[in-house]
Chain A
Amino acid sequence: MQEEITKPRETLLDAEEMALNMGPQHPSTHGVLRVLLKLDGETVIDLDCDIGFLHRGVEKIAEQDTYAMITPYWDRLDYVAAVSGDLCYVEGVEKLLQVEVPRRAEYLRVILTELQRIASHLLWLGTHAIDIGAVTVLLYCFREREEILKIFEDFIGARLTAHAFRIGGLWWDVYPEFETRVRDFLKIIPDRITEYETLLNTNRIWLSRTVGIGVLPAEEAINLSLTGPVLRGSGVNYDVRKAQPYSAYADFDFEVPLGENGDTYDRYLIRMEEMRQSVRIIEQALDGLPEGPVMAKVPKVIKPPVGEIYHSIEAPKGELGVYLVSDGTGKPYRMRIRPPAYINLQSLKRMAIGHLVADVVAIIGTIDIVLGEVDR
């Protein structure tokens, strides 16, 4: 554990504290995050995050929109993992409505969200690597991500802000070549993941930039209520897919990779392994894809009974939750979003103190934030 340094170190020369603004237009802050650094030379002694540049008030907008209208807004929270956002919201509303979703729809949802997890991790890997200085990885990652986006485009009709699911199921059933397209992709992706690892796993620059950087002990990770790969990197076995299986996840066999040291390198290894596990899940879901309808019978005008629910899923970045309060009308009384990136960002200060300015970039990358979700 690194000690907390709050004052410039005593040296022969006059030690002076320096304040440095990083962002909001810094390319490595993954959006519009402003980090106010307090430096002693190049060492970070304190930092403050300034968020809210991308605030759109989604939670307030939701109070004026009907339940169906809110779904597209969820694409725009974590816009690199839009399908996961949709899944969280529609399952929340279905829970509120007490609608049983057809099995086929659930399986297809799992396939799409796991593809989205791979896509999101690929984007994370590419940008994380480019922040640290490995530019090649980004281009390779984007090539494979493009394949996923093409599958999405053919299935859902949009690539990024997908609006993938509707309350009660899916709007579209599969298209004829869907299965072969996904299987083709599953065939190439494990080799490609190995390729990225060839570039990074033993690369000495990568190792010296990630090993031992931003170490977070398990206890502190729990205290900061972190979730997702950042928590599992510290060795805490918590994955919502296993802890409270939603959708059809109880049917599939997969492992939850855990780290040992809680540093940036471990979190990198975990995400790589998660991609492989996602491939396993998709394969099982494709093998066992049931026949039947993809849409449950839901009324055209959705008016859930009075009540409140909390539903959470394992998004690529951590536990994404929705808290919905219904007052019996067609619009939610209150919608609260639990964004994983926002909560994981709280660990930045804890991880970055004592490291160099250049490591702050690596640590922001390893938390995997998307400012659309942080600021909502």
Chain B
Amino acid sequence: MAAVTTTGQKRSIGQIIKRLLLLDLIEGLFLTFKYNVRALYEPRDGGNPNQAIYTEQYPLERPRVSERFRGAPRLNLDPENGSTLCIACDLCALACPVDCIEVGSIRREVRDGEKVNKKKVLTTFIFDTSRCMFCNLCSEACPTDCLELTQSFELAVYHRSGFRWDREMLEKGINYVRYTK
């Protein structure tokens, strides 16, 4: 690549005229002007790079959130009987680099037909969203697809204690106030 340098070089007459007529500045201003004119007649389409106005009007316009987005956590329930999928195996808590998951469980006898099994049963589940960095390691470690990071991204709360999500909140999700058009 040939680097353009202007140090120590003599300017040609063409360059001097360009400088006098402020052509270098006008070129740049013209580009901005072009966008300004386009913005007047092109329809507003937030997030389209070919349109003059790129800005999304959040919260009136909801942003498109991708399927794989890692946002608010959720504990999935069994769609058939509504019981939790979590087997209290603690793998998510062990996989988390910042220790933001606390799994509470007790051993209980569970009747499965004729047999009586001693099984770990989930009692509490605390997820600290203020420490979480949404890396997905916990959800990848989960053997039953119970813990999942969902597409909700509005995690702001009024009080610090609101960052500690308990089991109920994780299963139901939080209710947002949605501002739409």
Scan residues 128-165 of chain B and give those whose CB is less than 8 A from a CB of chain A: 133-137, 140, 149
In the bound complex, what is the Cα–Cα distance between A289 and B134 (angstroms)? 29
- Specify which of A76, A144, A153, A211 is in contact with B6 (CB 8 Å cutoff): A211
Given A155-B68, A163-B136, do A69 and B95 touch, yes or no (CB 8 Å)?
yes
Q: Give how many B residues have a beta carbon under 8 Å from the other chain's beta carbons.
A: 33
CB under 8 Å from chain B, chain A span 285-323: none
User: Using a CB-CB cutoff of 8 Å, which residues 1-19 of chain B contact chain A?
Assistant: 1, 3-7, 19
The answer to whether A203 touches B7 (Cβ under 8 A) is: no
B168 contacts partner chain A, Cβ-Cβ < 8 Å? no
How far does the alpha carbon of A154 sit from the alpha carbon of B69 in the complex, in Å?
A: 7
Is A198 a contact of B31 with CB atoms below 8 Å? yes
Query: A198-B31, A199-B28 are contacts. A154–B49 as well, Cβ < 8 Å?
Result: no
Check if B66 is an interface residue, CB within 8 A of chain A.
yes
Q: Per DSSP, are chain B's interface residues mostly helix, strand or loop, or mixed? A: loop
Residues of chain A contacted by B97 (CB below 8 angstroms): 65, 69-70, 72-73
Query: Known interface pairs A154-B68, A172-B68. Does A72 touch B3 (Cβ–Cβ under 8 Å)?
Result: no
Given the contacts A201-B4, A259-B3, A144 and B49 also touching, CB distance less than 8 Å: yes
Interface string of A43-83 (1 = CB under 8 A from B): 00000000000000000000001001111110010000000
Q: Scan residues 238-265 of chain A and give those whose CB is less than 8 A from a CB of chain B.
A: 255, 257-261, 263, 265
A147 to B47, CA, bound (A): 8
Size band of the A side of the interface?
Answer: 35 or more
Q: For the complex, is B180 an interface residue (Cβ under 8 Å from A)?
A: no
Q: Which of B64-94 touch A at CB < 8 Å?
A: 65-70
- For B57, the chain A residues whose CB sits under 8 A away are none
Contact B68 A157 (CB under 8 A): yes
Q: Would A161 and B19 be within 8 Å (CB), given that A198-B27, A212-B7 are in contact?
A: no
Inside 8 A of B40's CB, which chain A residues have their CB? none
Q: How far is the CB of B23 from chain A (nearest CB, A)?
A: 8
Residues of chain B contacted by A144 (CB below 8 angstroms): 49
Given that A143-B54, A144-B49 are contacting pairs, would A72 and B6 also be in contact in the complex, using a CB cutoff of 8 Å? no
**Which residues of A lie under 8 Å from residue B65 when comparing CB positions?**
153
Q: Are A154 and B66 in contact (CB under 8 A)?
A: yes
In the assembled complex, the Cα of A73 lies from the Cα of B133 at a distance in Å of: 10
B27 nearest in chain A by CB position: A198
Taking Cβ atoms with an 8 Å cutoff, the residues of A that contact B are: 65, 68-73, 76, 136, 143-144, 146-147, 150, 153-158, 161, 163, 171-172, 175, 185, 188, 195, 198-205, 207, 211-212, 255, 257-261, 263, 265-266, 269-270, 273
A-B contact pairs, 11 of them (CB 8 A): A68-B95, A73-B97, A161-B135, A172-B68, A188-B49, A188-B50, A199-B28, A203-B24, A212-B7, A261-B3, A269-B3
6 shortest A-B CB distances, which residue pairs? A157-B68, A69-B97, A72-B135, A202-B24, A154-B66, A257-B1
